[in-house]
Amino acid sequence: MRVLALCLLLAFAGCSKATTSATPAPAPSAVSAAPQATATAKPQSTRCHTADLTAMLEDAGAAAGTSYRYVVLTNSNGPACTLYGYPGVSLVDGSGAIIGKPAERNPVKSPQVVTLAPNKSAYALVGFPNPGNYPPGVCSNAQSASMRIYPPDDLRSLLVTLAGEKWCPGFTVSAVSATKV
């Protein structure tokens, strides 16, 4: 079987040599021999990084046993950049330890790409359920000293003072938006 395969291979190789063109290839010209330069345009904006942003909280009112605040992320350090998705949000105590669980995603608004020009802001709505709506022991006993905020797609966080909130089930955050939801 090996001999047959070798014979077929040699026969095929002989045939392929017989059908090659005897016409010599043209000599490369000076234009085609030079390496071609490619120009790429710099993107208009890139993903916002934590180092490019500042964070603050704004009151957003209350409804149905929940108080709301906006997380305001502002491009304070550079050219236009984009945010997409949900920020990570946690309540933390004075030592930096997380209280309860991180905020759950609230699908009140679908994620969208938000382009932040310098000094422009994006908003995410955070809901804080009222501890009085729950039986004792359901909400945390610890009170927050601050809120840790991870911009979408980033592993570094920003810390904003937020004294006195308690974690309860139903602690939520919306996707970032160009306007207040």
H or E stretch at 14: helix 2-18
Sheet-wide strand order for 104-106: 53-63, 66-75, 121-129, 172-174, 104-106
Task: Quickly count helices (H) and strands (E) in the chain.
Answer: 2, 12
Domain boundaries, the chain: 46-174
pLDDT score for 77: 83
pTM, whole model, 2 decimals?
A: 0.74
Task: Give 98-132 pLDDT, tens digit per residue.
Answer: 999 999 999 988 999 999 999 999 999 999 999 99
What pLDDT is attached to residue 41?
A: 47
Displacement of CA 130 from its chain's centroid (Å)? 30
- Give 8-66 pLDDT, tens digit per residue: 333 333 443 433 333 344 444 444 444 444 444 445 569 999 999 999 999 999 998 99
- Report the candidate in 75, 94, 63 with the shortest Cα–Cα distance to residue 162: 94
Kindly state the average pLDDT of the residues 150-165: 96
CA distance 172 to 181: 14
**What CATH class is the domain 46-174?**
mainly beta
Arithmetic mean of pLDDT over the chain: 82
